[in-house]
Amino acid sequence: MAKQTFTTGQVLTAAQMTSLQQTAMGGGSTTAKTTSYVLTAADAGTVVQMNAAGATTITVNTALFAAGDSVQIQNIGAGVCTVTAGTATVSTAGSLALTQYEGGTLYFNSTGAALFFDWVQAASASGGMTVISTGTLSSTGVTFSSISGYNNLELHVTGYNLGGGGRLFIRLNGDTGTNYTGGYLRFRDGTASIATGAGSPGQTAQIEVDGGTTPDSGATNSAIIEFPAYATTTGTKLVSALAYDLATYKIPSLNFYSYNGTIGATTSITIVASGGTFSAGTYTLYGVK
């Protein structure tokens, strides 16, 4: 229940007592938010629950809350919700950025100074996979940035189709130089073909699932693309992919490329439509600890 100012002789209703009990148990009345929100005084003692697909903020300003007030903040949306200091200060030993299903309590030490106690959830154990991002492919592709924090990355691209022809390329660090070398082993209706050498036109790691004279036209393809040890700061980087075509031709392929451009951590990964645009498909990027 939101913070009340009770008066002498006031009679509490059963509903008020039930709500108070709920608040005392660590819950309380919940206000759903779908866009970035600035806390108001009426939020004291309640739960503010964010549910948005994109990134949002919850801003904390001064002169609204009294010392001892608290607000519970939860994020149930896919977009990261960040508790942001507006005119008040917000201190925490944890993180103010709440990923999906994370939350915490904002406790006011004074009217202008809040502490945020985030409910730290168990991190993925070694070998555990975490969904970093998921979405729908469109237009010319998608770039993933700020990807640090894992040992390996695994990208699942499912049911993609390139209207107008073209193939799926992968670029690292936005590098379009001639820094990719590799090839593929592909079976087209049981007939194997092997191609090696620099990625042609030299600027990409190509995920080779189509083999027809009309690249990808009408085909629905999927690929699981791996980026082992992508964050190491020495040595070349590997891109390997197991890809397959679900159209008339059954074309499984194993693709492997090394990237020897920037000898440093891979900081961004781009899915590129080499021609045409993505008319279908979804992606999910996993981090592996």
Q: Which residues bind another protein (CB under 8 A)?
A: 53-55, 78-80, 82, 97, 99, 132-133, 135, 138-147, 165-167, 169, 176, 200-201, 203-204, 212-215, 270, 272, 274-275, 277, 285
Query: Which residue's CB is nearer to another protein, number 9 or number 190?
Result: 190
Output 13 or 191, the one with its CB closest to another protein: 191
Q: How far is the CB of 277 from another protein (least distance, A)?
A: 7
List of E strands, 137-260: 141-145, 152-163, 168-172, 180-188, 191-198, 205-207, 221-228, 237-245, 253-259
Instruction: Select 45 or 182, whichever has its Cβ closest to another protein.
Output: 182
Contacts of 130 (CB under 8 A, 6+ apart): 124, 150, 286, 287, 288, 289
Question: Minimum Å distance from CB 142 to another protein?
Answer: 4
Tokens found for residue 78:
């896919």
Q: Which is nearer to another protein, 112 or 228 (CB)?
A: 228
Q: How far is the CB of 244 from another protein (least distance, A)?
A: 19
Dig out the tokens for 241 from the structure: 């992919």
Question: How far apart are CB 191 and another protein at their closest, in Å?
Answer: 8
Residue 17 CB, shortest distance to another protein, in Å, is 39
Q: Quickly count helices (H) and strands (E) in the chain.
A: 1, 22
* Rounded CA separation 178/201 (Å): 8
Q: Which two tokens stand for residue 163?
A: 């209207």
If the CB atoms of residues 258 and 268 are measured against another protein, the closer one turns out to be 268
Say if CB 126 and CB 289 are below 8 A apart: yes
**What is the C-alpha radius of gyration for the chain, rounded to an integer number of angstroms?**
25
